[in-house]
Amino acid sequence: MNATTPIRWGILGPGSIAQSFAGGVAASRTGKLVAIGARNPGKPGLAESFPGARILDGYDALLADPDIDAVYISIPHPGHAQWAIKAAEAGKHVLCEKPLALTAFEADAMIHAARKAGTFLGEAFMYRLHPQTLKLVELIRSGVIGEVHMIKSSFGFAMPRFMPEHRLYANDLAGGGILDVGGYPVSMVRLIAGAAVGLPFAEPDKVVGTAHLGQSGVDEWASALLHFPGGIVAEVSCSISLNQDNVLRILGTKGRIEVPDFWFAGGNRDVGLGQIDVIASDGARETISVNEKRHVYSFEVDAAGEAIRAGRQEFAWPGMAWAESLGTLRVLDRWRAAAGLEYGIEKAQQRVNTISGRPLQSGGTAIAKRTIPGLSKPASVVALGFEDFRTFSSGSILLDAFFEAGGNLLDTGYVYGAGYTEKLLGEWLKNRGVRAQSVVIAKGAHSPLCYPDVIGKQLDQSLERLQTDHVDVYFMHRDNPDVPVGEFVDAMDREVKAGRIRGPFGGSNWTMERMDEAIAYAERTGKQKPGALSNNFSLAEMLEPIWAGCVTASSDAWKTWLTARQMPNFAWSSQGRGFFTDRAGRDKRDNEELVRVWYSERNFGRRDRAIELAARLGKSPIHIALAYVLDQPFPSIPLIGPRTLDELDDSLRALDITLSRVDLEWLDGGSLHAA
């Protein structure tokens, strides 16, 4: 594709905004409309609404059309992620109506698909490409109103009445104001807060929101406060059942700026001249207009077209680049969470397919499996932790991807997320029907409730949350040296005999002395021996406990013990919590945890050698750190905790590295040269 080749557009979903976009394509310099994908291609008026475009039967037909380069997605919000991912897989560039997705987690999956496919993905906040926006930023940066301290922005309108059949009131279509129009004021205040400090955009450090949820469960009117580093405060509001003044106000020390209906540049879906009022402290008013008469949608069409022609995968500023789309959605996520707004379509009962809209697939081989002593079925060579997720719709994206890659070892704990991690996993296992294929790790008896009688009581709750009658691996989350170790062994052995633990049990953050004592007690009394450990283990040795009661098994003595015992260790913080990334360095002292826990000359020597070996293998140091844990001479199972699909894929790049004993010894001590 060269600098003059027209971008051939297809529109997925022929609604009213799609007609406006078609007008923008017709008025653009870079694009032409080729086809429309419609689920009802025989609907009267389609040909007249989209003159010159072929009307195709269904969305899949649009994606399969070889004469289409880029797809504009204008269907209701819940379909954005599915069809953007499918479009990327089909090699199509995508411009997707706002909101890019229901959540930042969905948007991240869309970005992941585009990155892998090498295709463009942009969020269609049309106002961002209109010349009015750039003029507004220039005024802020010029200091015409002094230092910006407060921003107020609303986008609210009133539907004629409550209309349950309308998409704006439909829970299953993610109706309501926050997702439909709340992204406009949020994205704008982030842009202005950034402009005030010389950045493309700014991230708020505090978000407080609320909303009125109407009879269909969607937000009919809502407000939020955003606080930005440096003291800028933004008030944003939106509504679908309440008219608002819809004026952007930017308040500074020398005056204020007002912009009416900024998303249409003060106009409509065809033309917005762009009007900005600058009001000085003494009340003097100056009206500035960019006097732009081009079709308002032509600017985003050309910005997307220029990016595609140049081989870029995202908008150039002031368009919504990926980081900005994600940041805006994170604010909307926090706003919705504060208001208690979760749509039924985000819950397990309705979210039965993967983010791409397909049933979960098994048989993946990217993650190999291995046998672990005491387990009756093979387990993946790495275990997935997912403690950071708080909704089914967010956590299932990562769980699905891990499973489809071949992963089946899943790490939970009674205290993780105050129990939500177990609940999420239980919903996912039941929803996807993969409990029999999965290996579930459970933990209980965390301090201060580290007593033998707690094990069974907490396991009762864990099994209920997990919706299963047993776990496959069980760890006491901490040790209590004041309690005779035999009492703990007896308590776990009872759960084995009851069939509620059907694999190895042991201690997480236990010393080797207590493990030896527990094993000896079990051998004397005929009980099941502790057969697994879950201590920190990494190429970098933990110098101080990250959290109270933590134990590392990375010392030379521990390695000798683990090898002699052939004790499986499920290693947490296996990659040094960022020590092998650019976040760490001898001259980087801003991260208190990294400095306190990992900074020593011996660890930096290991890091140096990991960097050297990574360069030779075409990998990253963090891949070497993970491979080091995997290739130990005892069963060593890393627990990984990616938060995104990109992070998961990056971790899996370590799985094709094989380190010899010479490599391991060289990485650890530097006395030998890597083979």
65-109 tens-digit pLDDT: 999 999 999 999 999 999 999 999 999 999 999 999 999 999 999
Report DSSP state, residue 421: H
In the predicted model, is pLDDT for residue 374 greater than 70?
Answer: yes
Q: What percent of the chain shows pLDDT beyond 90?
A: 95
d(CA 280, CA 289): 17
Alpha carbons 121 and 470: distance in angstroms, whole number: 44
Q: Give the Cα separation of 67 and 582 in Å (integer).
A: 44
Q: How far apart are CA 654 and CA 497, in angstroms?
A: 38
Lowest mean pLDDT segment, chosen from 156-165, 419-428, 558-567, 665-674: 665-674
Asked whether 527 and 562 are in contact (CB, 8 A), the reply is no
* Range 102-117 average pLDDT: 98
pLDDT score for 2: 72
SS (HEC) of 542-599? CCCCCCCCCCECCCHHHHHHHHHHCCCEEEECCCHHHCCCCCCCCCCCCCHHHHHHHC
Question: pLDDT at position 269, please?
Answer: 87
User: What average pLDDT does range 322-332 have in this prediction?
Assistant: 98
Q: What pLDDT score does 675 carry?
A: 41
Question: What are the DSSP calls for 362-400, one per residue?
Answer: ----SS-EE--TT-SS-EESSEEE-TT--SHHHHHHHHH
- What does the pLDDT look like over 15-45, one tens digit per residue? 899 999 999 999 999 999 999 999 999 999 8
Backbone angles phi, psi at 259, to 5 degrees: -135, 115
The stretch 587-613 carries a mean pLDDT of 95
What would the pLDDT profile of 271-303 be if each residue is shown by its tens digit?
Answer: 989 999 999 999 999 999 999 999 999 999 999
Strands 206-213 and 569-571: what pairing?
unpaired
- Which of 532, 521, 517 lies closest to 562, judged by CA? 532
Q: Is 94 helix (H, G, I), strand (E, B) or coil?
A: strand
Query: In the 8-state DSSP scheme, what is residue 180?
Result: I
Strands 7-12, 31-38: pairing is parallel
Q: What is the pLDDT of residues 175-223, one digit of tens each?
A: 999 999 999 999 999 999 999 999 999 999 999 999 999 999 999 999 9
Contact 318, 134 (CB under 8 A): yes
Residue 564 exposed, middle or buried by CB count within 10 Å (0-12, 13-18, 19+): exposed
Average pLDDT of the segment spanning 375-380: 96
Q: Please report the pLDDT score of residue 265 as a whole number.
A: 87
Task: Quote the strand ranges of 199-295, DSSP E.
Answer: 206-213, 219-227, 233-239, 247-252, 255-260, 275-280, 285-289
Rounding to the nearest 10 degrees, give the CA dihedral for residues 612, 614, 617, 620: -160
Q: Which of 38, 76, 73 is nearest to 54 (CA)?
A: 38
Kindly report the average pLDDT of the chain as a whole number.
96
